[in-house]
Amino acid sequence: MPASLQGDLQPAIYRFKLGGFEVASILDGKSMREGLHPNFGANASAAEVHALARANNIDSNRFEHPYIPTLVNTGKQLVLFDAGNGALRREHEPLRNRLPDGQLVEHMAKAGYRPEDVDVIVLTHGHPDHIGGLIEGGKVVFPNARYVFGAAEFDFWKRGENVREARKFNRELFMRICVPLADRSSFIKPGDEVVPGIHAVDAAGHSPGLLAFHIESEGKRFMLTADTCTQYVIAVQRPEWYFDMDDDKDKAVATRQRILDMAATERLFVGGFHFPFPGIGWVEKAQGGYRFVPHSYQFNL
């Protein structure tokens, strides 16, 4: 009897040591999307985007869009960066065909973490795929956590001015999910410390107050870039190309260039929320832009 075909099997949790901290990438889910162009590179030609895709051995039309929250155990506190999609797809009709069911809690369990273990949840920004997993069926998913928001991001969504048409439903979600958590939240600005070893970095553009985070323990450094670059080839190699989900396109371009330059110059170990799982590696300068070099075994030694 030949062995039967078993179907795809892909990793969903990855944990490594960063000095005295433990860091875990946890896959919340993935979407498959059509139209690499014009989702990416609306200010370039389709031919240019397709050529870059081909040169990097990725499909020139369909693309995988993963969602990767990060857990950092500092030894004193368990800090979760972003909550993934949660039950958004099931609970909100407009998102039915856009987002996957969030599997963060299920995959955290496989890595040995319970929702009640999480002490702090840091929201890099207020887009649905980052806040959706905070609440399910009207109840908080992580019962013991306090929340940390970027002050500029929280104010933007709460005030509700200049929200572009495509983000109107996002604003409703933010009012429903995040605003009721305000009394258990603290509000930070770039440069502020979250817990010892973790500091916020300005990454505004993709959203009005997007924050990246610099994480350091015993001289080992890791920069969580969140949604600064939303695709590991296109957004990194051509940071000047627009991405349709960036709320302020020109600011997002300037932020990409600044953060990629910092990552390449300082040889920072980086994580990207929408990079291929486990979403971690390095950025190096390359012809005309930068290049993402995935992690292999450097942090296993």
Interface residue list for Zn ion (CB under 5 A): 129, 227
Least CB distance to Zn ion at residue 196 (A) = 27
d(CA 94, CA 140): 22
Least CB distance to Zn ion at residue 183 (A) = 26
**CB-based burial of residue 96 (10 Å sphere; 0-12 exposed, 13-18 middle, 19+ buried)?**
exposed
Please count the CA atoms within 13 angstroms of the CA of 161 that sit on its side-chain side. 3
Rg for the chain, CA atoms, rounded = 18
Which 3 state secondary structure label does DSSP give 157?
A: helix
Least CB distance to Zn ion at residue 147 (A) = 18
Nearer to Zn ion, 41 or 128 (CB): 128
Nearer to Zn ion, 135 or 210 (CB): 210
Structure tokens at 204: 């505004």
d(CA 154, CA 160): 10
Nearest to 104 by CA among 136, 75, 126, 77: 136
Structure tokens at 138: 């009207």
Peptide bond into 278 cis (omega under 30): yes
Least CB distance to Zn ion at residue 226 (A) = 7
Nearer to Zn ion, 73 or 85 (CB): 85
Nearer to Zn ion, 153 or 227 (CB): 227
CB 26 within 8 A of CB 104: yes
Nearer to Zn ion, 73 or 124 (CB): 124
Rounded to a whole number, what is the distance in angstroms from the first to the last CA of the chain?
41
CB 226 within 8 A of CB 212: yes
Least CB distance to Zn ion at residue 114 (A) = 25
Nearer to Zn ion, 22 or 202 (CB): 202
Angle at 266 between CA 63 and CA 195, to 5 degrees: 85
Least CB distance to Zn ion at residue 236 (A) = 16
Nearer to Zn ion, 28 or 227 (CB): 227
Least CB distance to Zn ion at residue 296 (A) = 25
